[in-house]
Every structure is written in C-alpha cells, then in structure tokens.
Amino acid sequence: MTIATYQDVESSLGRSLSAAERKRAEWWLDGAEIQIRARLGSVSLLDADTVRYVEAEAVAARMGNPDNYTSETIDDYTYRYGSETRQIVIRDDWWALLAPQRGSFYTIGVTSPLDLP
C-alpha cells in the first residue's frame, strides 16, 4: 500500500481519473514507492506528506504521456515529449525533499611551523 493514492494524483492533475487511469495510477504509485524504498529504505521512516507529494507528482508527470509517445503531429505542428515521461521518474529536487542533507559545517584552521614567529 503506497502512501499516495490516486486521489492525490487527481489533485495534482486537477481532474478526475477514469477507472482505467486509476488502475494505471495505482500501478505507477507502486513503482514510485519501490524506487524510494530502493534508495532510502523504509518509507515509514520518511515524512509521510513529502512522500505523498513526491509519489503523486511523479505519477502525474507520467500521466501526461501515458502511452509513451515520443512525438505527436497534427497538420504542420509537431510536439515532442521528453524522454523522462516514458517511466516513473523521481526528479533530483524531489529526492532532495525526501532525504535532505543534514549536518554541520565547520572550518579547520591549518597552520605550519613556518607560520610561527
């Protein structure tokens, strides 16, 4: 069971999903969560709201090109889709939200015996 639901994807898209789209969204949500678990471990240790957001946004992006078209042409107009829409992709900025870098910054002063008076 994923943290995000197809309703979260609907909210991201701003529209309702058909029954077939719901099944696809649920499958892709599973895929997004598998990627998160593979990289970061158990999602139960992560912020649930952030996981929900990332999963829903990744699936909503995939829903923009559900049939893996590389381009569409109507009359003399051609639209090309990015290759990232062919699979569930969790962008680098979303990974940063899921696992923010925590730590402290410090400076180490370096001196040499030659620096002494």
Spans in the chain with pLDDT lower than 50: 85
Global pTM exceeds 0.95: no
Q: What is the pLDDT of residues 10-34, one digit of tens each?
A: 999 999 999 999 999 999 999 999 9
Which residues are CB-contacts of 111 (< 8 A; sequence separation ≥ 6)?
A: none
Quickly list DSSP for 92-109.
Answer: HHHHHHHS----------
- Give the pLDDT confidence score for residue 84 in this predicted structure: 52
- Give the pLDDT confidence score for residue 115 in this predicted structure: 67
Rounded-to-integer distance, Cα 112 and Cα 69, Å? 63
Domain boundaries in the chain?
6-115
Residues 58, 94 contacting (CB under 8 angstroms): yes
